[in-house]
Structure 1
Amino acid sequence: MAGHESDRTDDTGRRETTEERADRRWGDLLQELRVAQTGVQILFGFLLTVVFQQRFPQLSDTDRHLYVATVVVGAATTGALIGPVAMHRLLTGRRVKPETVVWASRMTVVGLFLLLCTTACSLLLVLRLAIHDTGAAWLAGVMVLWFSVCWLGIPLWARYRSTPGPDQD
């Protein structure tokens, strides 16, 4: 199929059609989602049990509001990270895989941002209960910074240092 319009060779020397590229990117995305979904489902499951603990009625109003916010953000995270699977299932066979991969990738990025928020709120809640002082907010803030470096800073630095082609992968 040399010279076929849908063939392309990127900067890594890959020669693949648009559909082959979409299949490869979908497989990569599924592997990433498996990791993120497992983490968020475990965290969300634990969050749902907190309300049934004996000490829950003793929480301050602030801590209850923080708990509710954490559960809601955790639910939103779950939706965003499972959404690509539902999207793929509903669009399979419609010949829109390249578009599906783009939208699923966007949902995954939103899900990772929401996971950062869920983790930050969870940490803040636990640390407020554990150390009972303003240090909880500082510690949670430091952890948000750490997650930001790991999830955003290092990847963006690596992206900047690479020599990408016009259509990055």
Structure 2
Amino acid sequence: MDSAEGRDDAAWNRRVRDETETQRLDRNWSNLLQELRVVQTGVQLLTGFLLTLPFQQRFEELSDAQEVIYLVTVALSVTATMMLVAPVGIHRLLFRQHALPTLVATGQRLAIGGIAVLGFALVGVVLLIFSFVVDLPTGIIAAAVAMLMFFGFWILPSLPNRRSTGDPHTHESL
């Protein structure tokens, strides 16, 4: 959207919700924190699980390919964890700096990126487990199904309604 449409969105917010820009930013930040609370728990559990695997007796049975899959999956999971926790750290660094627009915009981008990376980490977990329990071709098929599920459940439903206001400080009117 161009900036005129972004202004229309801000006008809609004022007219329909009767909220100021600051109130909208506060609401967006609060919504983002609630969403992060939900996803952070899952990604942190996944990361913790992956970090314990090398200490399991059967870990030595992994093939070279499975070790690579494991390491890539751990890197993805740790990256997702960092991205999904980062908005809280940024909030602490920007506390009382009157940087709410930056905080909301940056938190939004990190949350979307973190969820995307989490999706790839989950696909990696499926690939690793199925390749270890059955075989690599079955793992690839299972990972492809997991990837389709990721796009089908997380990405595709949002595409028809996803829009940008053109204003880096105005991301949505939810």
Q: TM-score range by the shorter chain?
A: 0.7 to 0.9
How many residues get paired?
Answer: 159
Which ranges of 4 or more aligned residues in structure 1 deviate by more than 3 Å?
164-168
1:142 alignment partner in structure 2:
145
TM-score w.r.t. length of structure 2? 0.85
CA distance in 2, matches of 1:77, 1:124: 18
Identical counterparts, % of pairs: 36
What root-mean-square deviation, in Å, do the aligned CA atoms of Structure 1 and Structure 2 show?
A: 2.0
Matched, 1:124 2:130: no
CA distance in 2, matches of 1:62, 1:40: 24
CA distance in 1, matches of 2:81, 2:44: 7
CA distance in 1, matches of 2:101, 2:18: 16
Q: CA deviation at 1:92?
A: 1.4
**Structure that is richer in helix per residue:** 2
The AA in structure 2 aligned to 1:48 is L
Q: Please list the CA deviations of residues 50-100 of structure 1 after superposition, one character each: whole Å capped at 9, or x if unmatched.
A: 000001112111111111111111111110000011011111110110121
Residue from 11, 20, 23 that aligns with 1:17: 20
Q: CA deviation at 1:133?
A: 4.2
Unpaired runs of 5+ residues, structure 1, are: 1-7
The AA in structure 1 aligned to 2:28 is R
Q: Secondary structure of 1:51's match? A: helix
Q: CA deviation at 1:132?
A: 1.3
Q: Please list the CA deviations of residues 100-155 of structure 1 after superposition, one character each: whole Å capped at 9, or x if unmatched.
A: 10011000111011101110111100010111141221111111111111111012
Unpaired runs of 5+ residues, structure 2, are: 1-9
Matched, 1:88 2:91: yes
TM-score w.r.t. length of structure 1? 0.87
